[in-house]
Structure 1
């Protein structure tokens, strides 16, 4: 199952809480969009601690985190 979370414009902890909600639904493939360095770092750490591998792409002012359950 693939799920996208658009957390651009949101400040922490909101992006992490949205990501946690998706993980709690047992989603194994996630795409999370954030627009600031702090949110990127916090979501990345949260995903890694939850056992996901994460690839990060940046385009313009958006970070796209592609997460897969290991």
Structure 2
């Protein structure tokens, strides 16, 4: 098995088609990178919303428990 390119400069020249090859690579990597970044940001925002909602629900439950305890104390 022989290598397709004998040197790094031949590799980067891509047999005279370097512009098209590297443009295609760029046009593939840029959207993929954007998709990864968007996914990570969306995940972070979603987890923050979930934490905020859980915290709110805990506060509501605690308030209901406190109110129920206060009513039970009044009626005794």
TM-score band, normalised by the shorter chain?
A: under 0.3
More helix by share: 2
> When the two structures are superposed, what TM-score results if normalisation uses the length of structure 2?
0.22
Higher strand share: 1
Query: Which structure carries more relative contact order (alpha carbon 8 Å, separation 6+)?
Result: 1
Larger Rg: 2
